[in-house]
Amino acid sequence: MTVTSTDPVQDPAVETAEALTNVPEAAAEVADQADFGTDEDLSIPDDIPTADDPSSRAANRDMDNAGFTLDEFAALLSKYDYNFKPGDIVNGTVFALESKGAMIDIGAKTAAFMPLQEVSINRVEGLSDVLQPGEIREFFIMSEENEDGQLSLSIRRIEYQRAWERVRQLQKEDATIYSEVFATNRGGALVRVEGLRGFIPGSHISTRKPKEELVADFLPLKFLEVDEERNRLVLSHRRALVERKMNRLEVGEVVVGTVRGIKPYGAFIDIGGVSGLLHISEISHEHIETPHSVLNVNDQMKVMIIDLDAERGRISLSTKALEPEPGDMLTDPQKVFDKAEEMAARYKQMLLEQAEEGEEPLGSMMV
């Protein structure tokens, strides 16, 4: 048997629309019938805005009234877009020590690497002598990123730059420094100054010791040449000693010295640890063919100081100025030595008179 409905068939869409239309009335009826234990009105208000009402939409952001402009925002982003270049000095954090070097975090996309040989300007046994994990310090960027995007760093380059700055300042101040001899060669001796390798020419070493025995000795030194571009750091032991000695010496003073070496142009006389030159022309008023005809190595004698050149570290000596009679150094050297102080007093008086008359002192004309 077929059951036939007497109710007209409704379209589903129509039914849905009617149901939505009757929601407020249905909700109100339910609210009236239910006991929620409150007097608050929970019915849906009649003034709900429709979807096409502009007031129901989120307001547009006004960038002009924001805390910063778009340009400022872009600049802020670029501040953290690191662009590392060779030659830059950056801060980094050590996070791993390896056998061949250290891994450093400098904020790049890939951890940077510092080779073992770049850890210090001085010789070190291992990385742990200089670095510790977690340590923050400055690093020098040596090269562009490699194929893996990794940068190479150095501490040695920073120390190298600062060491040259320091020695240039020391030279400017004409400072006397002390440094240990770590090696010698045919030309002289090698020392380290602020971590840099320095050279003392043999002609500027003033000591009675054989050159080979100077290793591990600390010597007072003066700067002769500081040239970073040519990597030349040249020093003088003689100049340092002469300066020290010069503080206690004066032109016209008679000192006792020992002949340490004889050359065709004159003799080197040791006067209390520093060497002065007795030029062949200052031995006697009489002409001399060679200093060997008058002097012998290890001879002790009196000489007078006729010039002190601190800048070049030279002390010029004379026995000619001590001769009572021209040629006495050839015929009677002892007479010269016996009357040395008397003759030196006359020499000083002569210098004083020349100064009073405005003439250039003899000592200042000596080379």
> How many other C-beta atoms lie within 10 A of the C-beta of residue 131?
19
Looking at residue 50, what is its pLDDT? 53
Determine the pLDDT at residue 199.
97
What local confidence, expressed as pLDDT, does residue 143 receive? 82
Q: Which of 153, 158, 198, 202 is nearest to 178 (CA)?
A: 198
The pLDDT, as a whole number, for residue 225 is: 95
State the pLDDT at residue 309: 84
pLDDT in the model for residue 150: 87
Cα distance between residue 325 and residue 241, in whole Å: 34
Rounded to whole angstroms, the Cα distance separating 212 from 226 reads 25
pLDDT of residue 31: 43
pLDDT digits (tens, 9 = 90+) for 169-197: 999 998 999 999 999 999 999 999 999 99
Tell me the two tokens of residue 46: 């009649």
Q: Which residues in the chain come in under a pLDDT of 50?
A: 1-21, 23-24, 26-38, 40, 58, 61, 63, 66, 77, 81, 363-367
What whole-number distance in Å separates Cα of residue 135 and Cα of residue 146?
A: 25
Closest of 337, 302, 308 to residue 250, by C-alpha: 308
**pLDDT, position 260:** 92
**What was the pLDDT predicted at 108?**
82
CA distance 296 to 147: 72
How many Å apart are CA 313 and CA 221, to the nearest integer? 11
Position 211 scores a pLDDT of 86
Tokens of residue 174, six digits? 């004409």
